[in-house]
């Protein structure tokens, strides 16, 4: 048995905002943002769009690809949606905090009647946490065969747009992967699908990246005046240090545990938070920059959506060939981290 990623899709807001546009209303410059982060633009939602809308778009895109490319027997994306057993949605910006899960809204709108659906809150590691959760749910029950794993975030709604050290970093987006339990080998030299995953957390970094308002730690009190919507606060340098260290450790650990060299890995797909984080980790490990897939220039940090957006771009641009070994590396609020090796 193998758990394979068979199709991918994405949904990116059409509104593209360049650094120069931000610099018109904020004390920043295109030069500062590019040189400190590698970001050139970001895509932002309009005020009618919520997390589940983007997630739904990404889901249809992935299901549509599976049908168009003849990867499934179902004749339409709608018919394929009906066969889903699991939907897992990684997000830190759901439609509603608490309940219901945005995954349930997606499940209903897709028309997936026999399906469990849940959100996962693991910051930018949400997609990797989602992959492992969905894989486990498929593996433990014989009757479950198909899952949709989505990463979707609309952090532009939860940012202090006066705080130049955070607001320039984030963009909105969603992407999805169809996961199937197949008869391919999950072990041995011919193994396919997700072959190894490491997940972890370090909650001592609670204060490094958090949304203070809206939760039970800091509830609203009657009469209180709130002049800013709930928004993320970040200790940029602490997150930076954690991210570089974590990327290095995850790459080394995945290779050592799998008993392969870096040459066996076609591409590393890291979370796109800051190009400098990726470059610093690459330099420490002597990995050429071309080995890392990067699209942060266009999308900025789309949080849980960043890795699946990258995967979908690679997939649709012919950069993924059957049999390629791909490494996914994530880190995020929590603090959380995760790494996966998969055979495409």
- Specify whether the CB–CB gap between 199 and 126 falls below 8 A: no
- 29-55: b (≥16 Cβ within 10 Å) or e: ebeebeebbbbbbbbbbeeebbbbbbb
Binding flag, residue 177, ligand ACO (CB under 6 A): no
Q: Cβ atoms within 10 A of the Cβ of 187, count?
A: 9
Binding flag, residue 236, ligand ACO (CB under 6 A): yes
Q: Which is nearer to ligand ACO, 13 or 38 (CB)?
A: 38
- Which stretch, 42-50, 107-115, 211-219, 234-242, contacts ligand ACO (CB under 6 A)? 234-242
Question: Among 265, 299, 218, which Cα is nearest to 17's?
Answer: 299
- Which stretch, 230-238, 255-263, 285-293, 315-323, contacts ligand ACO (CB under 6 A)? 230-238
Catalytic residue among 43, 124, 167, 208: 124
Q: Which is nearer to ligand ACO, 177 or 244 (CB)?
A: 244
Active-site residue flag, 51: no
Q: Cβ atoms within 10 A of the Cβ of 218, count?
A: 12
Q: Among 91, 135, 274, 340, which residue interacts with ligand ACO (rule: CB under 6 A)?
A: 274
Q: Which is nearer to ligand ACO, 182 or 295 (CB)?
A: 295
Q: Which is nearer to ligand ACO, 134 or 167 (CB)?
A: 167
- Specify whether the CB–CB gap between 13 and 46 falls below 8 A: yes
Give ∠ CA 89-95-96 in degrees, rounded to 5.
105
Question: Among 245, 269, 5, which Cα is nearest to 148's?
Answer: 5
Q: Which is nearer to ligand ACO, 57 or 270 (CB)?
A: 270
Binding flag, residue 239, ligand ACO (CB under 6 A): yes
> Maximum CA pair distance of the chain?
65
Angle between helices 51-68 and 102-110 (to 10 degrees): 40
Active-site residue flag, 301: yes
- Which stretch, 27-35, 61-69, 219-227, 260-268, contacts ligand ACO (CB under 6 A)? 27-35
Active-site residue flag, 124: yes
Scan for tokens 């299901």, then name that residue.
63
Binding flag, residue 36, ligand ACO (CB under 6 A): yes
Residues making contact with ligand ACO (CB under 6 A): 28, 32-33, 36-37, 123-124, 164-165, 168, 209, 234, 236-237, 239-240, 243, 273-274, 301, 303, 332-333
């Amino acid at each position: 048995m193998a758990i394979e990623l068979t199709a991918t899709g994405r949904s990116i807001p059409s509104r593209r905002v360049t650094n120069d546009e931000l610099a018109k209303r904020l004390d920043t410059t295109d030069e500062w943002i590019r040189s400190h982060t590698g970001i050139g633009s970001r895509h932002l939602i309009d005020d009618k769009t919520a997390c589940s809308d983007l997630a739904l778009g990404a889901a249809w895109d992935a299901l549509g690809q599976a049908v168009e490319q003849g990867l499934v027997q179902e004749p339409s994306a709608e018919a394929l949606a009906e066969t889903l057993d699991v939907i897992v949605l990684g997000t830190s910006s759901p439609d509603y905090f608490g309940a219901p899960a945005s995954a349930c809204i997606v499940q209903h709108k897709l028309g997936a009647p026999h399906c469990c659906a849940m959100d996962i809150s693991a910051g930018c590691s949400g997609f990797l946490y989602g992959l492992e959760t969905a894989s486990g749910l498929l593996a433990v029950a014989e009757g479950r065969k198909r899952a949709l794993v989505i990463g979707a975030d609309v952090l532009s709604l939860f940012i202090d747009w006066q705080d130049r050290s955070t607001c320039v970093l984030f963009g909105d987006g969603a992407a999805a992967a169809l996961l199937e339990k197949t008869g391919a080998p999950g072990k041995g030299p011919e193994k396919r699908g997700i072959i190894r995953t490491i997940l972890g957390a370090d909650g001592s970094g609670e204060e490094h990246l958090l949304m203070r308002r809206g939760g039970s730690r800091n509830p609203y009190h009657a009469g209180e005046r709130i002049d800013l919507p709930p928004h993320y606060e970040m200790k940029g340098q602490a997150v930076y240090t954690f991210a570089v260290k974590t990327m290095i450790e995850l790459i080394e650990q995945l290779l050592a545990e799998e008993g392969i060299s870096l040459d066996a890995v076609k591409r590393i797909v890291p979370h796109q938070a800051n190009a400098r984080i990726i470059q610093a980790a690459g330099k420490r490990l002597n990995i050429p920059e071309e080995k890392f897939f990067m699209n942060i220039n266009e999308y900025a940090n789309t949080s849980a959506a960043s890795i699946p957006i990258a995967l979908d771009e690679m997939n649709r641009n012919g950069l993924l060939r059957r049999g390629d070994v791909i490494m996914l590396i994530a880190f995020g609020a929590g603090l959380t981290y995760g790494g996966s090796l998969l055979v495409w």
